Amino acid sequence: MIFEKFGDLKAHLDVGDHTPGKLKMQSTFDKLRRDWAQKFSTVAQAKKSANADSSAATASKSAGSRCELPLWWALQSSRQGATRFSAKVKEYLTAKFDMGEKTGDEADPTQVASDMRNAKDDNNNRLFGREEWLTKKPS
């Protein structure tokens, strides 16, 4: 029960109906929560629209009430744009991590990204192309 003023509560306590479980007023939020819980307490298959193909309707009737959904339909799709590190990048980052473990100095992400851009092999060729460069994730 909701009271807008403290005086309303006092008046209710003095002369109000104190039957348990009886709600005279409820907030809009409480009403929405109860309605939502009632509506979604069970899962029901959506009904076919009136303009659906009659052959599809007969096929669904013959299949019974069982819903034929593809396997794993409820799982989220994989992240878009995510790329895997190449073996070269993994080896480089693992070497940086191992060096930090041995020396006790944690590698700075900005410095590691800069080092990747400037890293060169024995023949003075770049180890990584632009597509392999990493950047520090903003925090």
81-118: per-residue pLDDT in tens? 667 788 889 999 999 999 999 998 888 888 888 998 99
Would residue 47 count as lying in a domain?
no
How many domains does the structure of the chain reveal?
A: 2
**pLDDT(2) > 70:** yes
Q: Which domain holds residue 97?
A: 87-132
Position 113 in a domain: yes
Q: Would residue 96 count as lying in a domain? A: yes
Look at residue 108 and tell me if it is in a domain.
Answer: yes
Q: How far apart are the first and last CA of the chain?
A: 45
* Residue 109 maps to a domain: yes
Q: What is the pTM of this model?
A: 0.40
Average pLDDT on 30-58 reads: 65
pLDDT bracket for residue 51 (50, 70, 90): very low
